[in-house]
Amino acid sequence: MSEDKNVVPSQREQRYDRQLRLWGDHGQRDLEAAHVCVINATTLGTETIKNLVLPGIGKFTIVDPEFVTTEDLGTNFFFEERHIGQPRANAATELLLELNSSVEGNAKVDTMANVLAKDPDFFRQFSVVVACDTPLYALLPLATLLWAEQIPLLVARAYGMIGYLRLVTPEHTVIESHIAAFDDLRLTRPFPELLAHARSTILDDLSLDKHSHVPYPILVLRGIDAWRETHADLPRTRAEKKEFAGMLASWRRTKDDGSGVADEENFAEAMAKCNTIFRSAPNVPSEIQALLDDPKCSNPDKSAFWQLCNALKAFVSVHNDLPLSGAVPDMHADSRSYVALQQLYRSKAAADQAFIKDALASRLPNALVARFCKNAAGLVVVRTPSLETELTGHCGKLSDAAAMSVGDETRAFEFYIALRACDRFHEKHNRYPGTGAHAHEEDAGELSSMCADVLRNAGVDGVTIGDDCVKEMCRYGAAQLHSVAAFVGGMTSQEIVKLVTQQYVPANHTIIYNGVQGDSRTLNF
């Protein structure tokens, strides 16, 4: 993709314009390099792929042994009547590829289990694997293989009014979390060039016009100098911050005609920022310190992320601070003062980046190093439990999740357990509750006792699953409502974009969508 910022954009850039403004050209490159595997072309499966083909994912592969039925036509948009009796994987691939000629799509008409038995290497080629509408127990062999390969697995389901999405990955690292951070201006610990620049500004010598256009960071730094003449420490308490702001207020000029205090917006800005500037926060946020203390930081693997963290650790040990982001927010100032200030921050940020680059054990692209440094305060590592742990172990945190969901109107925890019980039912009877010729209510009793089994096996005491949840699950009979599948498909595709671009933070780790309430919760256990 052309990245010349000075010419009329190519057709391709125009097509992707609305998303390039979010994840950038580098995010788009990562997306176009990705190959996603979707197991089962159910409604949920094709909706997920649709939302990836449109923004231009590199490749997708559908694995599905089933054939298109009439009832598929009533819920899945990517089949037509002429496809009835044909493999779902082929039909869906054909219609999905119509959406974007840049995307490659493959179909494999076989069961996941067969593919795994015949050719385990098959699944090693993917960036992400998504399993749609498959019971969890059937996924264990695949999940184990992907876990060992560090390939993320998403398990997605649309079950009547209930949606489910689970991320399974030993580790996913995020460089650009896009989580709004505080401005990083270092006013309480200015670097020498910044302090020298501030001290070269003699406020009393300035005309009123210049005086009212001094950028607020300079005012604050001059204020701190004055404050230190009478105080040993920086303003910390609410009263001290107020006193500091009052001191700045007293520096405002009177109007030229002598009719009261001039309306100097830069001073108003400085005074308003006192609370956040003097908040007590460690130089290195605790989340980032935890990353630096991670064993992988000292002994990084081949991943760029951990190598960069290793260099970051060296940086912090020298500077006791993170690399400067270099971003200066807009503020009330004249052009020249603002640009001069911006230059200082940018030079310092460039110097910090150079340090990181030198500290790296092996060479990495400059643009990547720069992005890492810029976002160092927002780095994230996501680690989820394995599917095996969830299904076979006593999961202590599940009891906490149960306790925390008391009074939750979405009843996410109850529906999670009910879904697990539906799988158990499926494992025993080879059908889901509420399917088959008999009345759906007849399955409620057995499903209810299976909910109790799931809780007991997981070591969760003192919790029961409401009869209304159990009866609703029987009513749903594993129906794929297009609306619920499209909702979960939308979420799933965005989680995939997160995983392949290392931008934004994936949900950790189980989302339950309640289509009755129209709301969702993320469970972490």
Partner 1 sequence: MSTPEHNKKPKMGDRWAHIDKLLSRTGPLAVEGFDEAVGMIRPFLQDSVRILVIGAGGLGCELLKDLALMGFRNIDVIDMDTIDLSNLNRQFLFREADIGSPKAEVAAKFIEKRVPGCKVTPHFSRIESKDRAFYKQFTVVVCGLDSIVARRWVNSMMHSLLRYDEAGELDQSSMIPLVDGGTEGFQGNARVIFPGMTACVECMLSLYTPQVNFPMCTIANTPRLPEHCIEFARLVLWPKHRDDQIDGDNPEHITWLFEKARERAAEFGIGGVTYRLTQGVTKRIIPNVASTSAVIAAACANEVFKVVSSCTKYLDNNLIFNDVDGVYTYAYKYDRDPDCLTCSNKPVDVACSPEMSLTHLRETLCTSDKFQLRGPGLTTTVGGKNKTLYMARPAALEQATRPNLDKSLAELGLEHNQMVNVVDPTVAGALRLRLVMKQQP
The packing angle between helices 335-359 and 216-228, to 10°, is: 80
Q: Which two tokens stand for residue 190?
A: 């200015």
Q: Is residue 50 involved in binding partner 1 (CB under 8 A)?
A: yes
Among 211, 213, 273, 313, binds partner 1 (CB under 8 A): 213
Q: Is residue 262 involved in binding partner 1 (CB under 8 A)?
A: no
Q: Is residue 121 involved in binding partner 1 (CB under 8 A)?
A: no
Q: Is residue 397 involved in binding partner 1 (CB under 8 A)?
A: no
How far is it, in rounded angstroms, from Cα 346 to Cα 354? Answer: 12
> Among residues 307 and 520, whose Cβ is nearest to partner 1?
520
Q: Is residue 390 involved in binding partner 1 (CB under 8 A)?
A: no
> Among residues 188 and 508, whose Cβ is nearest to partner 1?
508
Q: CB of residue 207 vs partner 1: minimum separation in angstroms?
A: 15
Contact 359, 311 (CB under 8 A): yes
Q: CB of residue 122 vs partner 1: minimum separation in angstroms?
A: 20
Q: Is residue 70 involved in binding partner 1 (CB under 8 A)?
A: yes
Q: CB of residue 229 vs partner 1: minimum separation in angstroms?
A: 32
Name the residue among 306, 348, 313 with its Cα closest to residue 328: 348
Q: Is residue 208 involved in binding partner 1 (CB under 8 A)?
A: no
# of chain residues touching partner 1 (CB under 8 A): 105
Name the residue among 66, 135, 68, 51 with its Cα closest to residue 428: 135
- Where does this chain touch partner 1 (CB under 8 A) — which range of 225-233, 294-302, 303-311, 334-342? 334-342
Question: Could you tell me the CA-to-CA distances from 492 to 48, 361, 372, 396 in Å, in that order?
Answer: 6, 36, 26, 27
Q: Which residue has the tokens 């030079």?
A: 347
Residues 446-505 interacting with partner 1 (rule: CB under 8 A): 467-468, 471-472, 474-487, 489-491, 493-495, 497, 504-505
Q: Is residue 201 involved in binding partner 1 (CB under 8 A)?
A: no
Q: Is residue 98 involved in binding partner 1 (CB under 8 A)?
A: yes
Q: Is residue 123 involved in binding partner 1 (CB under 8 A)?
A: no
Question: Could you tell me the CA-to-CA distances from 7 to 4, 10, 139, 433 in Å, in that order?
Answer: 6, 9, 49, 60
Q: Is residue 87 involved in binding partner 1 (CB under 8 A)?
A: no
Among 200, 250, 280, 430, binds partner 1 (CB under 8 A): 430
CA angle, 364 then 154 then 135, to 5°? 155
Q: CB of residue 284 vs partner 1: minimum separation in angstroms?
A: 20
Residues 133-192 interacting with partner 1 (rule: CB under 8 A): 133, 160-161, 165, 177-179
Contact 176, 424 (CB under 8 A): no
> Among residues 241 and 498, whose Cβ is nearest to partner 1?
498
Query: How many beta carbons lie within 10 A of that of residue 340, not counting itself?
Result: 14
Q: Is residue 433 involved in binding partner 1 (CB under 8 A)?
A: no
Among 45, 55, 190, 326, binds partner 1 (CB under 8 A): 55
Q: What is the CA radius of gyration of the chain?
A: 29
Q: Is residue 435 involved in binding partner 1 (CB under 8 A)?
A: yes
Name the residue among 472, 474, 509 with its Cα closest to residue 398: 509
Q: CB of residue 66 vs partner 1: minimum separation in angstroms?
A: 7
Q: CB of residue 516 vs partner 1: minimum separation in angstroms?
A: 4
Q: DSSP letter string over 473-490?
A: HHHHTT---HHHHHHHHH
Among 81, 121, 204, 229, binds partner 1 (CB under 8 A): 81
Contact 360, 311 (CB under 8 A): yes
CA angle, 484 then 503 then 379, to 5°? 125
Query: How many beta carbons lie within 10 A of that of residue 479, not counting itself?
Result: 17
Q: Give the number of residues written for the chain.
A: 525
Complete edge-to-edge strand list for the sheet that includes strand 128-132:
104-108, 59-63, 35-39, 128-132, 153-159, 162-168, 510-514, 519-523
Among 66, 171, 183, 240, binds partner 1 (CB under 8 A): 66
Contact 1, 29 (CB under 8 A): yes
Q: CB of residue 278 vs partner 1: minimum separation in angstroms?
A: 25
User: Residue 259's beta-bridge partner residues?
Assistant: none
- Where does this chain touch partner 1 (CB under 8 A) — which range of 92-100, 195-203, 246-254, 396-404? 92-100
How far is it, in rounded angstroms, from Cα 345 to Cα 325? Answer: 8
Q: Is residue 287 involved in binding partner 1 (CB under 8 A)?
A: no
Among 237, 330, 438, 461, binds partner 1 (CB under 8 A): 330
Q: What 8-state DSSP symbol labels residue 80?
A: -
> Among residues 310 and 375, whose Cβ is nearest to partner 1?
375
Among 122, 359, 440, 457, binds partner 1 (CB under 8 A): 440
